[in-house]
Structure 1
Amino acid sequence: MGILYYDGQEFDFEDRTLTHLQIVISTKLRRKEDFFLSWNQPVERGSGRHALWIDNGVPIHFFYEGSRPPTVNREWIEMLVLAAGRASGLQLTEVAEPRSLR
């Protein structure tokens, strides 16, 4: 389980999901494109939904519990980057498996 530290708050994600988020967030911020990131809170953690405005001016830190980087799904990255460009922002869902692994 990894942690996204953003604006003094901590948000838990699976390492693989967090890796994909790091790639998407860094891509968007390098392009100077701020966006909303939102996701549903699991029932076991109280339900609800988070929404963060991701901005270049806010410190961000990614912590990974595992020492090995997970496999990256380029197709999924492209879908997430496109979704982040919408007015509603990026609604995070489960990481999709690459077509070759299905």
Structure 2
Amino acid sequence: MASLVYGDGGDPIHIEDRALAHLKIVIATKLRRNESFTLSWEHPEGDPGGRSTIWIHPSIPLRFTFDEVEPPPISLRWVEQLMHTANSSGGITLVDEVLDAPEIEAAAD
């Protein structure tokens, strides 16, 4: 499980490696444009239920830590879905990856 640490000494936010790799692309794009936004996610299993939202601002330290050494393959479709939420008034919402039918069939083989 990867983690996102926001601010100095904040508690890490645990997010699956593949999801955080995709989220990192979207967050870096927004911050490169000097844009502030919110990031919302549902709490993972094992944590108290519910969801959280944080305000992301370019001046606040941010660190991405991954368990896996090699970065996962990136789904452009998933990045586009996350970017779409990033450009909405609700900010980035960590949405699940939607696989195309051929990808689902290949994964089942």
TM-score w.r.t. length of structure 2: 0.85
Unmatched segments (≥5 aa) in structure 1: none
Unmatched segments (≥5 aa) in structure 2: 105-109
Q: How does 1:1-102 map to 2 (within 5 A)?
A: 1-7=1-7, 8-97=10-99, 100-102=102-104
Distance 1:96 1:55, change over 3 A: same
Distance 1:68 1:85, change over 3 A: same
Task: Compare CA radii of gyration and give the structure with the larger one.
Answer: 2
Regions of 4+ moved over 2 Å: 95-100
Give percent identity, aligned residues only: 37
Higher relative contact order (CA 8 A, sep 6+): 1
Query: Shift of the alpha carbon at 1:75?
Result: 1.2
Paired residues, what number?
102
Distance 1:70 1:43, change over 3 A: closer
* Cα RMSD after superposing both structures: 1.5
TM-score w.r.t. length of structure 1: 0.90
Cα distance in 1 between the residues matched to 2:65 and 2:87: 25
